[in-house]
Structures are given as structure tokens and as C-alpha cells.
Structure 1
């Protein structure tokens, strides 16, 4: 089982004195769920970009197992907050676009696209135009594009931020189902406390800039869903509610401290 590792990551932008990130140590394991939670501006998206290979660091290294990584590769796939789909292509063409760039035969592309669309529940809209889809369906297409790369690690940057509460919960359930089936290592950024609790085995809390990891919680709510408990039951559970309120107060205090500093 591979591990994506941020090893003593620090980043300070040129001509700035305050680091964006300082001494980040983090492991994302295959077949696990890691969520980053913290005040806006604490460097969550920057950390995702570093793990994806889009952003270089001032010190430290990104590794998969013992291999130091330099730049993006096929082992890490990213789902952005904005779906970034190609509007002139239909759903199936968007999902299969990377395979076309690799020069695969049309029959092979179709077989792989059909399989991925079935996995994400979009077979019925394979020929639909992008503008015909709901926000949640567009994000499913984006996740399908990430899955078709066969990357062991999927990095998601606030993928459900623009969705209403009902569709957001539907997509949370979708991600849990996908984790159960695909056995990938998921790394997800969110500002939503309930979402963070539900979708994580490892919930990482970051401080305001300079971004540091100040706590890591190891949770079992996703495993309870895997064992058959409903999301509504999990979210109404006393332990879940107490943790939600504790995190809310903690992040509120963090915000007040940042404002007062």
C-alpha cells in the first residue's frame, strides 16, 4: 500500500517574510480519507497544490513511499473546486480526453469511459452536453476524469462548495461510496465541519498563517457508513454533534485570534 507523504514541507513566497506553510508533516495512505480543515488563508489549497506537484517548496519534499517527487505525475489526480470541464465536449468525451491525448484506440477509450461512467453513476448522460448537467453531476464528471487516470491518490479542492445542502450531502455519500469501491487515497479540503467529520479517517486541523498542523483527529464515521449506517443517522449521533460543536468553537477562536494578531 503506497503512502503520499509531505515531509517537513515549508513554503515562503519570494519577497515575503511570513511563511505560507511551515514544517508540514502528513501522510495520506491508499484506501483512506484525509481531510484538511482550517481558517481561510491558512494554506490548505497551497498544500494540495504542493502534494499534486503544481507548486514547488522552500524546503522539505513530497514523496510517494521513499521516492521524492518533482512535478505532477499520473499517481496523483486533482479535482478542482471549479469543475474545469471542456464545454465543447460531451460527458464521455470529457472523461476520455486524457486517454485520447495518450493515443489510445477509440475502442479502448470507449471501454474505459463506459466503465468509469458506470462507477460514478453517469452512464445515462454519457452523450449529454456539459451545460445540460447540474452542479453535482458536473463534479461527478470531474471525479470521473480523475478516476480514469488510475491514480492511487485523488486530491479534491473544496469540490462541493458551490452546491446546495441537499446536493452537497448527496455528493458526500457519493464520495464515501467511491472510497469503498475504488480503494483510493482521498485528500480533501473543505470549510464545512460536518463534511470534514463525515469524510475523514484522518482530520487534520491547520492554524492560520503560517499554516501548521496543530492537531490530527482519527475518526470512524466513514467506517460506520461502510458498515451500513446512514449519513443522517451518523450526523445526528451525539458524538458527531459534540465533535462538530467543539470544532466550531475551536475554529471560531482561531479566527478571532487571527483577527486580533
Structure 2
């Protein structure tokens, strides 16, 4: 079983006196669900960029299966907040673009793309133009593009933030279904408390300025879904609601404390 480790990660940008991240210690097992929850400005996206290899930390290391990460590679695929699709390509062409760059034969590309589009529920729009898709469909294309890379780690940068509540819940269910069926590791950052509770086995609560890990919670809501419970039933469970309110109050207190400092 692989493991992605953040060891004593810190980051201070040039010409800035205050650290963005400080002393981040985190282990992400392959096949797990990890969510970073925090207010805007706590360094969540920066931390994801370091995990992806887009940004090098000022201190510490990212270690994947015993090797130090220094750049992006095929082990980690990213789903961005903005879908970042190529508008001149249709759905299938967007999903298969990376496979084409790898030099796969057209038949191999077609077979893999068809399978992934079926998995994420987009087989019926395989030849549609990107501008014809809804926001939820575009994010499904982004997830399909990550999955077709066969990366064991999928990193998601608040990918559902711009979606309406109904579509957002459908996308949350898609992530849970993919985790359940494909045994990939999902690392997601969000400021949505309900989403964080539902999509994590390990929920990491961050404070801001500099971003530090305040607390790590081990949760079983995702596992309950894997065992067959309905999402709406889980979200209406008294334990889920109570924890949601506790986290809301904790984040509210953090925000108030920051406002006093500023």
C-alpha cells in the first residue's frame, strides 16, 4: 500500500515576512479519503499545489512511496476549481488528450475514454462540445480526465464550489462511488463543512496565518455510505448535524479571532 507524506511542510513566499504554511505533518494512505477544511486564506490550495508538485515548500518534504516529490508526476492527478477544459476539443477528446500525448494508439484511447465516461455518467455526451455542458458535467469531465491517468492519488481543489446544492450533492456522491469502486485515494480541500464531513475518513481542520493543522478527526460517514446508507439519511443523522454545528462554531471563532488581530 502506497503512502503520501507531508513532513514538516512550511512555506513563505519571497518578499513576504509571514509564513503561508507552517509545520504541516500529514500522512495520506492510498485508498483513503482525506479532506482539508478551513476558511479562505488558510493555505488550503497552496498545500494542494505542494502535494501536486506545482509548488516547492520552503521547509520540509513531500514523500511518495519513500521518494521525495520535486515535480508533478503520473502518481497524482489534479481536479481544479475551474474545470480548465480545452474548449476546441469535445468531451471525449478532452478526456483522451493526455493519453494521446503519451503516444497510445487510437483504439486504446477510445477504449479507455469510453470506459471512464461510462464510469462518471457522461457516455451520452461523449461527442458534445464543452460549451454545451452544464457546470456539473464539466466537473465530471475534469474528474474523468484525472481518472484516465490511472493515478492512485486524486487531488481536488474545491471542485464543486460553484455548483448548485443539488448538483453539488450529486458530485459528492460520484466521489464516494469512485472511492468505493476504484480504491483510489482522494484528497479534497473545501470550506464547506457538510461536504468535508461526508467526503472524509480523515478530516483535517486548519487555522490561518500561517496555515497550521489544528486538529485531525477520524470519521465514519463515508464508510457508512460504502456500506449502503443513503447520503440524505447520513446528512440528517443527529451525530452528523451535531458535528457540523460544532465545526461551524469552531470556524466562526477562528474567523472572529483573525478579525481582531487584523
What TM-score comes out, normalization by structure 1 length? 0.99
Q: Secondary structure at the match of 2:186?
A: strand
Deviation, structure 1 residue 182: 1.3
| Residue-by-residue CA offset, 1:185-232 (whole Å, 9 max, x unaligned) | 100011110000000000000011100001000000000001111010
| Residue-by-residue CA offset, 1:106-133 (whole Å, 9 max, x unaligned) | 1111011111111111111111111111
Partner of 2:172: 172
State how 1:86-125 maps to structure 2 within 5 Å.
Answer: 86-125=86-125
| Residue-by-residue CA offset, 1:221-258 (whole Å, 9 max, x unaligned) | 00000111101000000000000000000000000001
Partner of 1:137: 137
RMSD in angstroms over aligned alpha carbons?
A: 0.6
1:243 aligns with 2:243: yes
Deviation, structure 1 residue 39: 1.5
User: Contact 1:28–1:186 (CA<8 Å) still a contact in 2?
Assistant: no
| Residue-by-residue CA offset, 1:7-40 (whole Å, 9 max, x unaligned) | 1100011111110000101111111110000121
Q: Which runs of 5+ in 2 are unaligned?
A: none
Q: Secondary structure at the match of 2:26?
A: strand
Q: Secondary structure at the match of 1:225?
A: helix
Q: Which runs of 5+ in 1 are unaligned?
A: none
| Residue-by-residue CA offset, 1:147-182 (whole Å, 9 max, x unaligned) | 011000000000000000111111111110011111
Distance 1:131 1:89 in 2: 10
Partner of 1:188: 188
Q: Secondary structure at the match of 2:173?
A: helix
Moved segments of 4+, more than 3 Å: none
Distance 2:128 2:16 in 1: 47
- Work out the number of aligned pairs and report it: 261
